[in-house]
A = this chain, B = another copy of it.
């Protein structure tokens, strides 16, 4: 049977949740990722990790949220680039809240929200806080991404050719490009990769966002050295970690 909730009938979904299956909600974004990656990188990765994880833990993948919170210059986003379509904080809070509330009312007791767009985090947490204030112990909700669980040594393996620039600059750079090469190679334009000189970190935010806050290409660090193999290293490592987390918390 499919692990995609969207492709299940309601009866199939019903029997899965009666077994206590973990429901995974992928949240992505519609955001510029330079000249070589498509706008849906964050959604593809959220969906991709969610499905692979569901296979391993007998979980169910809920339909993805395809839009995310405002992309910010400090984390590599590009609010001023055409194609970046951002939700406001309140909208993302309400959207996540409603979906979780309905899942909980349907009887889902174990939920993993897998958000693969950095800026979503605070607002997704707020939604989960509010929904668990309302429903107490009826469900346990975890919020994870793919980068925080990566062990230190995997970083070294992936960055064996170029230095790790820090997560703040990993936007459309080595990790995201490698993951896309492994998960959706047909969407990667290797020939358009640009060798951006790494932007310097900015220890503050400034508004209105100035035009030049992000380099013209939308890329913060070079994607050079990206490969499907490196992407697979990350995937394997993240899945092991996420599976451990689920085993530990959803017993």
Give the B-binding residues of A (Cβ under 8 A): 5-11, 13-14, 17, 30, 32-40, 43, 62-67, 70, 72, 78, 81-91, 93-95, 97-99, 102-103, 106-107, 119, 121-123, 125-126, 128-133, 136-137, 140-144, 148-149, 187, 189, 192, 203-208, 218, 241, 245, 249
Q: How distant is the Cα of A122 from the Cα of B121 in the complex, in angstroms?
A: 9
Besides A65-B66, A70-B126, A203-B241, 12 other A-B contacts (C-beta < 8 A): A7-B39, A9-B192, A10-B32, A10-B34, A10-B35, A10-B78, A10-B83, A14-B82, A72-B125, A141-B207, A148-B204, A149-B203
Contact among B36, B136, B207 with A132 in the assembled complex (CB-CB below 8 Å): B207
Name the residue in A8, A32, A70, A205 with the highest tally of chain B Cβ atoms < 10 Å from its Cβ: A205
Name the residue in A9, A17, A67 with the highest tally of chain B Cβ atoms < 10 Å from its Cβ: A9
- CB neighbours of A84 from chain B (8 A): 10, 102, 106
Nearest chain B CB to A189 CB, angstrom units: 7
Contact A43 B70 (CB under 8 A): no
Q: How distant is the Cα of A94 from the Cα of B94 in the complex, in angstroms?
A: 9
Contact among B17, B90, B107, B136 with A90 in the assembled complex (CB-CB below 8 Å): B90
Contact A10 B81 (CB under 8 A): yes
Q: How distant is the Cα of A7 from the Cα of B39 in the complex, in angstroms?
A: 6
Cβ-closest chain B residue relative to A28: B63
CB<8 Å pairs between A and B, sample of 29: A6-B30, A6-B38, A8-B38, A8-B83, A9-B32, A10-B33, A10-B218, A14-B81, A14-B82, A72-B125, A84-B102, A84-B106, A85-B99, A86-B98, A89-B126, A90-B90, A91-B95, A94-B95, A122-B122, A125-B207, A129-B207, A133-B208, A137-B208, A140-B208, A142-B204, A142-B206, A142-B207, A144-B205, A203-B241
